[in-house]
Amino acid sequence: MKERFRDYLAAKGCAERTIETYGQAVEGYMEWYQETFGEPLQRLYRANVLDYISYLRTVRKLVNRSVNTKLAALQNLNDYLIESGAQTEKVLSKQDYLKVQTSYASPSTINRDQVEAFRQRVLEGSGKRNYAIVTVMAYAGLRISECLALSPEDVSLPAREITVRSGKGGKTRVVFIGDKVVNAVKEYLTECPNDGRPYLFVSRRGGPLSREQVNRICNDYSDIITPHALRHFYCSSAIEAGFSISEVANQAGHSNIHTTLLYTNPTREKMKEKANLL
């Protein structure tokens, strides 16, 4: 069932990250079901799912947002089981999701000085390719999956544009880039010119890079900077630089403008400074 469910998600057009997250969540539920009832999962029962929610909250002590991610996976599993004829009734809906307090603080947790110091450490210790990768994420705002999926033809340095063809939800967008990105990619291309390869950023063997390899770059040169933190930094910096909300939403590929609006809020550190003024 696990592999067929993943195939179902892929056929729906779900992103690789979503497939992996939902796949792991469903595997976790199946393991819990097996341990609890002593038999493999064949279908979903609402009573069982409600017990599982209680288990996640009281035993696993997961926050509501994490529980909701698992519920979203089970809701997709429910749809798959109905489509495959294994059951007929829906046992989950959006109304079952737990309430999550909306964060007021900006998601950005790193500042420009930290990003610049990090980029320099990567350049000196890891070379031009990795320097270009972290620069694209920090100053073009690409998701790690979008960055690794770029082909040489997707990047036009003379036009200062990057075409993202593998955006979230399968959407394509054009991202406009500045000198930092242009210079970093140009320097990388001097030692790794376009020779017809399918990917812009390639491994030493000429194949595609993995998410794990990029995460390792961040871990090797920073205790706080991650690919996702670099994306947050981009959105926050773009707002501060005078980009409009709609411009940042378009550049970052946000499907919901409320996501972009979070970056107009003060950072956690700024809010703590204000708390001291009370």
* Catalytic annotation, pick one of 128, 168, 188, 232: 168
For residue 161, give the 3-state DSSP assignment: strand
Among candidate residues 135, 133, 97, 99, the one with its CA nearest the CA of residue 116: 135
Burial (Cβ within 10 Å: 0-12, 13-18, ≥19) of residue 182: middle
* Catalytic annotation, pick one of 8, 52, 80, 263: 263
Catalytic annotation on 143?
Answer: yes
Q: What element of type H or E holds 175?
A: strand 173-176
Catalytic annotation on 231?
Answer: yes
Among candidate residues 77, 73, 107, the one with its CA nearest the CA of residue 90: 77
Burial (Cβ within 10 Å: 0-12, 13-18, ≥19) of residue 52: buried
Strand partners, 163: 174
Alpha-carbon distances of 65 from 70, 71, 98, 143, rounded to whole Å: 9, 10, 8, 21
Among candidate residues 133, 115, 125, the one with its CA nearest the CA of residue 220: 125
Q: What is the DSSP letter of 205?
A: T
* Catalytic annotation, pick one of 70, 129, 231, 232: 231
Catalytic annotation on 228?
Answer: yes
For residue 140, give the 3-state DSSP assignment: helix
Burial (Cβ within 10 Å: 0-12, 13-18, ≥19) of residue 74: buried
* Catalytic annotation, pick one of 128, 129, 143, 232: 143
Residue 162 main-chain phi, psi, to 5 deg = -120, 125
Q: Please list the active-site residues.
A: 143, 168, 228, 231, 254, 263
